[in-house]
Amino acid sequence: MKKNRFTFGLMVMALLLSGTAFGGGLPWKSHQNPYNFIFGNHIDTHQQTKVMPNGELLGYLYIKFTGEYTQDGFPIAEHTNCNNELAECSVGWQWRGVPGQATFVYHESGDHPIWLVNYRSDIPQPGGYSHFHWLGHPHEAMGLMEEMSYEGYFLELTAKDTFVFKHGNEEILVTPGLDLATHLNIVSSFPLTTVTGDNGGASH
């Protein structure tokens, strides 16, 4: 009898630990150590990340569920300022980041800013790095300067749950696993734009 209780206790503990590691992720703690890396702009209101020994990033991107559902019954979520006392943030994605640089092309209101790389080989491999985010100023994308190169990180997002992500006027169904759609903002060519960088530059 005692052995059965002990075994049952171990099973419950294993389930709780697995739920913490792979389900809910890291609760919002306002960048407490070791998840104290900051980009220095608006994205810090909904990300917590740590720097790995190799200089790459490992962290979480957060969402808030709106309380609304799609006609198919999927909960709708969006980014928010998780430092707001009324915000109930949960992990939407786990992410990895690799340092790099890209050239800002343009930004349409309600969407992610679009970034240009010299060559497709500039995007880290292996992996699914579909999003670039800059370091430091400006605080918001509207302050980025067209055709200027910025240091930042290429980010690979892995969704942790099933929900519909609302960004601007678009709603995208997200399912657990590698996500190449919701934050896609990298291109390798763009009309009348010249990129200069360590590779000597290329016209697109």
pLDDT tens digits, residue range 125-165? 999 999 999 999 999 999 999 999 999 999 999 999 999 99
- Residue 199 — very low, low, confident or very high, per pLDDT cuts 50/70/90? very low
Does residue 43 carry a pLDDT above 80? Answer: yes
Bridge partners (DSSP) listed for residue 50: 58
The percentage of residues in the chain with a pLDDT greater than 70, rounded to a whole number, is 82
* Alpha carbon separation from 197 to 96, 122, 147, 149 (Å, rounded): 24, 11, 12, 8
Per-residue model confidence (pLDDT) at position 168: 85
Q: Is 40 left (phi over 0), alpha (psi -120 to 50) or beta?
A: left
Per-residue model confidence (pLDDT) at position 3: 43
> What does the DSSP assignment read for 122-137?
GS-SSS-EEEEEE-SS
Secondary structure (3-state) at 8: helix
**15: its two tokens:** 């389930």
* Alpha carbon separation from 80 to 86, 113, 199 (Å, rounded): 10, 18, 37
- Residue 194 — very low, low, confident or very high, per pLDDT cuts 50/70/90? low
* Residue 183 near residue 131, CB atoms below 8 Å: yes
pTM of the model: 0.82
For range 107-122, the mean pLDDT: 94
45-59 burial, b at 16+ Cβ within 10 Å, e below that, comes to bbbbbebeeeeebeb
For range 53-75, the mean pLDDT: 97
Does residue 17 carry a pLDDT above 70? Answer: no
Does residue 31 carry a pLDDT above 80? Answer: yes
- DSSP β-ladder status, 149-159 and 89-106: antiparallel
Does residue 78 carry a pLDDT above 70? Answer: yes
- Residue 7 — very low, low, confident or very high, per pLDDT cuts 50/70/90? very low
**32: its two tokens:** 């407490």
Q: Which residues contact 65 (CB under 8 A, 6 or more apart)?
A: 75, 76, 77, 88, 90, 163
- Rounded to whole angstroms, the Cα distance separating 202 from 74 reads 44
Identify whether 176 is preceded by a cis peptide bond (ω within 30 of 0): no
Does residue 46 carry a pLDDT above 70? Answer: yes
